[in-house]
Amino acid sequence: MRPSAVAAGGKERNMSGEKVLIVGDKAPVLEALSGLLRENGCEPETSGTAEEGLDLLAREMVSLALVDVTMPGKDGLPLAGKIKKISPDTEVVILTDGLSRETAIRGIPADVYDFLPTPFENLEDVRGTVRRALEKRALSLKIRQLDRDLEIRNRELSAALKRQNSLIRAGLAMGGISTLPDLLDFFIGLVSEELGVERVSLMLLDDRKGQMRIYASRGLDAEVVDKVRLNVGEGIAGWVAKEGKPVLVKDVQTDPRVNRSLSSTHATSFISAPMVISIPILLQEKVLGVINVTNRRSGLSFDEEDMAYLYGLAGQAAMAIERTKQLEELQEAYESLKAAQKTLVDSERLRALGQLAAGVAHDFNNLLHGILGRTQLLALKLGDKEMDFPSLRSQLETIEKLTLQGAETISRIQDLSRIRKDAPGGPLDLNAVVTNAVEMTRTKWKDECEARGIRIGVHFRPGPLPITVGEPAEICRVTCNLIINAVEAMPGGGEIKLATIHEGDHLLLEVSDTGIGMSEEVRERIFEPFFTTKEVGQGLGTSIVYGIVARHGGDIRVGSADGGGTTFRLRLPVISPHAGERPRRGTGSREGAGPAKVLIIEDGELNRDLFQRYVMEMGHQAVVASSGTEGLQIFETRKFDLVITDLSMPGISGLQVAERVKKQDPDVPVILVSGWALHQDEQRIRDAGVDYVVPKPCTVKDFQDVVAEALCSRAKGPSNSST
């Protein structure tokens, strides 16, 4: 036998009210069991046959069935199976009626709880068995209820987790979706999917108009979305927007809030089933809009959990809406600032262009006046019977000087306009350059100043520097300009300090003075062309400095304050001299080789005649063409030692001429001549096959030197070949 309930649990179970069915035909057994059960608070029901017992079981809930194993014409064991089939929660105990323990154990079905031998030897054992069977039933029912509760809880947790993931997805979408319409549509999609609804809409509030309109929806006609405008306070959604409170309606027919709002045709657009939920989109108590939900597919009403989910989503929507609005406002402000900046830059550019044009016009008017006057004087002299050749030579030299000054002015303008592309390519010793600049300006900072009773000290502290790549003459020009500016900034004398430093991948040159300094306004405009604070000068100095430094790939900055002196800091990149070194040209002669045949292609008549004369003065043969097309046609029919071509010509350009010449005869050198040569891309010129570049204007000597060098660079010429 199993242990008693007291021994097993320490505390007996109260059996009061438990209904027990006794099935058997032995009256003494039935009476004994019924009495025992009543004494323990149970409600016994007796049945003399199996059929009666099953009938009673079908009508009433029975906690325990005590079944005699032997009844007239019926075995009690099959009855146990039928009882469990009709009432699975009813426990069954078999009365063995004298069977041995071993036989009873072998014959009892698995779904029978226990057996009791009859006649009873000890009623306390009977009571204990009954009690344990009822306890097992109660425990089974409790476990089943716990399983049901657990299943419900699991479903709730799964739903909560799903909604949490939905909110997380919404949060992630805020960072990945940039446009407000797409973001709101994503939110509405989450609501429709999570709540299983057919109709959902998100409305935003226009504070100025006091109206809301739909920005995203599911299940609404396009006409409704486009046309509906809902005033604040009108309908359920309007009430929610006005009060900032949610509305949960489970029956639109009986809820008084719906009845009051149904007078609005707009409001009815959002109520199509006897259930509705409307949630305000709040940001710090400010209503931005409303989320409306109707038509749940399952037919279930909305509840507080649905409201909580929508509130969480509405909070994220509020942040997304506000963030998007701020981004739009920032973008508008940026575009406005950008437009204002462009206007300002354009204005400054036009002002600088006007100043540049005025300065250039002034320079060239002076130069042209000098050239015109001396040319006219020469024309008058030609009528004299006696020619004053020294005077004529002097006038011609003056004209030449004026022309070269004009070319220098153009060079300065190209410097300050940053269009010169002839990258520096020679070795540059910055310490040697600075030393030379100090010596070159000695007359300015020493002799002139001492003549006026002013003392200016110049101190140079050179640092250990590597050799880099650049144009020493141009960097010397920069340094001289900075020294002269420093001298002019110290009318009462002072000190100028120069220092060079190697800092990482750059070389630094600092030029400091103890002069009068400059205001913030002057410092901001110091590198503008034609800006000057001097009574004499054109204001091109620091602009040209800036252009030269920029062309070397460096930068220049200035630090100054009124009365506190000025410091210019110039940075140049460190470049291996081998990377920027230009190839040396040969300088031999063509003695004994005979006159060369030179093809000159130039569309300008004056320059074409000049170049022809330059070449013929050297003793060479010159063939001229007025266009690239004509020149190439001549080149294809004759042999030449050299081709000289202008860059800018109608039809075929000088670069195209060079490419065609090199394709036909790679050994023929090509000289490119143009006032725009320095503006072209050096790599493009090299790729075209150009060997030499001559800028306009140039002196006769410079032109003829390049022609001689080009002819000497040709290993073998066709000059001795028949043409």
- Can you spell out the DSSP letters for 481-494? HHHHHHHHT-TT-E
pLDDT computed for residue 678 by the predictor: 53
Burial 447-465 (b: 16+ CB within 10 A, else e): eebeeeeeebebeeeeeeb
- CA nearest neighbour of 644 among 674, 683, 686: 674
140 shares a domain with 189: no
Give domain status of residue 112, yes or no: yes
569 shares a domain with 624: no
Q: Is the CB of residue 190 less than 8 Å from the CB of residue 313?
A: yes
Give domain status of residue 304, yes or no: yes
Domain that holds residue 245: 174-329
pLDDT in tens, 222-256: 888 888 888 888 888 888 888 888 888 766 566 66
Give domain status of residue 641, yes or no: yes
Give domain status of residue 289, yes or no: yes
**Residue 651 DSSP symbol:** S
The one-letter code for the residue type at 637 is T
489 shares a domain with 635: no
608 shares a domain with 563: no
Alpha-carbon 268 to chain mean position? 45
pLDDT computed for residue 345 by the predictor: 60
Domain count, the chain: 4
574 shares a domain with 610: no
712 shares a domain with 614: yes
Q: Rounding to the nearest 10 degrees, give the CA dihedral for residues 82, 87, 91, 96.
A: -20
Give domain status of residue 560, yes or no: yes
- CA nearest neighbour of 303 among 282, 277, 281, 280: 277
206 shares a domain with 97: no
User: Structure tokens of 659?
Assistant: 């490419």
257 shares a domain with 124: no
268-272, 572-576, 648-652: range with lowest mean pLDDT: 268-272
The one-letter code for the residue type at 222 is A
283-287, 381-385, 585-589: range with lowest mean pLDDT: 585-589
- Can you spell out the DSSP letters for 146-199? HHHHHHHHHHHHHHHHHHHHHHHHHHHHHHH--SHHHHHHHHHHHHHHHHTEEE
Give domain status of residue 154, yes or no: no
Given a cut of 80, is residue 633 above it in pLDDT? yes
Give domain status of residue 469, yes or no: yes
The CA distance from 135 to 141, in Å, is: 10
Q: Characterise 186 by phi-psi region: left (phi > 0), alpha (psi -120 to 50), beta (else).
A: alpha
Given a cut of 50, is residue 536 above it in pLDDT? no
User: Structure tokens of 317?
Assistant: 């929507």
The size of the chain, in residues, is: 723
The CA distance from 108 to 84, in Å, is: 13
246 shares a domain with 197: yes
The CA distance from 553 to 571, in Å, is: 9
129-138, 329-338, 450-459, 649-658: range with lowest mean pLDDT: 329-338
Give domain status of residue 305, yes or no: yes
**pTM score of the predicted model:** 0.40
603 shares a domain with 555: no
Residue where a domain terminates, one of 124, 144, 164:
144
pLDDT in tens, 291-340: 888 877 877 777 777 878 788 778 877 887 787 778 878 888 888 888 87
CATH no. for residue 93?
Answer: 3.40.50.2300
pLDDT band of 493, cuts 50, 70, 90 = very high
577 or 195, higher pLDDT: 195
pLDDT computed for residue 266 by the predictor: 45
The CA distance from 304 to 407, in Å, is: 87
pLDDT in tens, 433-489: 999 888 878 878 988 888 889 999 999 999 999 999 888 878 888 888 899 888 988
Residue where a domain terminates, one of 309, 329, 349:
329
pLDDT band of 585, cuts 50, 70, 90 = very low
324 shares a domain with 255: yes
pLDDT computed for residue 510 by the predictor: 94
CATH no. for residue 315?
Answer: 3.30.450.40
pLDDT computed for residue 196 by the predictor: 83
98 shares a domain with 31: yes
CATH no. for residue 568?
Answer: 3.30.565.10
pLDDT computed for residue 106 by the predictor: 65
